[in-house]
Amino acid sequence: MFGPYLKRWKLVPDGAAIHTHSSDLLPVLYAGQPAMLKVTRSDEETTGNHLMVWLGGHGAARVYAQGGEAIVLERLHSEPSLTEMVKAGQDDDATRILCRAAAELHAVSRLEHTPPPPLPDLRRWFRSLERTAALGGVYATAWSIAQELLNDPQDTTALHGDLHHGNVLHSPARGWLLIDPKGLVGERGFDYANIFYNPTNADALRPGRLARQLEIVCAESGLERARLLRWVAAYGGLSAAWWLEHGDGQYSEARKVLNIVELALAALSVSG
């Protein structure tokens, strides 16, 4: 699978291959520089590759080459990691890093720059929650909130779409950088919502954690508290809906996510 790209871009293998549910990756050298060859099997990730090219290394890993389903990226370090920072009691610092990574991506849309590549509208993703809303309860509430947000978008921009602790990695020379965007267009608040569900459900459900991260994200992003909480609730409903769509007895995973949605709804009720 890697052979044609190694030849095309004169890449030298530099480590063991990594295989995920959607992509195959190989550490390589590109013109003598450490890089990562990624070959995706997902249309969604191919769209994300186009967004990476457009970002031009602004707040993101640099793209050395790209074509079709393959991309060659600046190789970043797995350590230090934001997940390990959370484990070490530095949750607040990790959240600030994620917020600044999101802000840098969103800022690219406001610069004098070529238009972004064609990206799907965020509304398309929420079709899953719309279908699941028929179950009632928290799903219906989350869908109602999502509809209000989607029908009255603010600060529309290119979105990462999957901003979490594993998708911001470190470069000793350039600091913390984004990888693996899904690539969407929508309100910037959506990109911050996933932070509240990561790195694990246990972290998200720690007493006082949501309130603390809400304070930090609002301070870093300038987002209004109640609107951010609505995005947190809407995103959580969508995430739970995706778990149900996976099938294979994923109800328990969906329920874990809904526990966090309920915290957001309770906080929203108090703030409202």
Produce one character per residue of 14-30: b if its CB has 16 or more CB atoms within 10 Å, e if not.
Answer: eeeeeeeeebbbbbbeb
Task: Please tell me whether residues 264 and 159 are part of one structural domain.
Answer: yes
Instruction: Specify the pLDDT at position 260.
Output: 98
Give me the domain span that covers residue 98. 82-271
Instruction: Specify the pLDDT at position 234.
Output: 99
Task: Please tell me whether residues 70 and 91 are part of one structural domain.
Answer: no
Task: Please tell me whether residues 203 and 264 are part of one structural domain.
Answer: yes
When divided into structural domains, the chain yields a total of: 2
The per-residue pLDDT for range 122-143, each reduced to its tens digit, is 999 999 999 999 999 999 999 9
Instruction: Specify the pLDDT at position 272.
Output: 57
* Residues 227, 123: Cα–Cα separation, whole Å: 17
Task: Please tell me whether residues 90 and 209 are part of one structural domain.
Answer: yes
Instruction: Please check whether residue 89 is in contact with residue 148, taking contact to mean a CB–CB distance below 8 angstroms.
Output: no
Given 91, 162, 180, 203, the catalytic residue? 162
For the domain that residue 44 is a member of, what is the CATH number? 3.30.200
Among 35, 56, 74, residue at a domain's last position: 74
Task: Please tell me whether residues 52 and 187 are part of one structural domain.
Answer: no
Among 28, 46, 74, residue at a domain's last position: 74
Task: Please tell me whether residues 170 and 190 are part of one structural domain.
Answer: yes
Instruction: Specify the pLDDT at position 113.
Output: 66
Task: Please tell me whether residues 32 and 136 are part of one structural domain.
Answer: no
Its pTM stands at 0.94
* Residues 14, 75: Cα–Cα separation, whole Å: 11
Instruction: Specify the pLDDT at position 114.
Output: 77
For the domain that residue 118 is a member of, what is the CATH number? 3.90.1200.10
- For residue 209, the Cα-to-chain-centroid distance in whole angstroms is 20
H/E stretch holding 70 reads strand 70-74
Among 30, 53, 74, residue at a domain's last position: 74
Catalytic: 162? yes
Residues of the chain with pLDDT below 50 are none
Whose tokens are 């590759």? That residue is 49
Instruction: Specify the pLDDT at position 115.
Output: 82
Task: Using CB atoms within 10 Å of the CB of residue 234, give its burial: 0 to 12 exposed, 13 to 18 middle, 19+ buried.
Answer: buried
The per-residue pLDDT for range 20-69, each reduced to its tens digit, is 988 999 999 999 999 999 999 999 999 999 999 999 999 999 999 999 99
Instruction: Specify the pLDDT at position 180.
Output: 96
Task: Please tell me whether residues 48 and 132 are part of one structural domain.
Answer: no
Instruction: Specify the pLDDT at position 250.
Output: 83
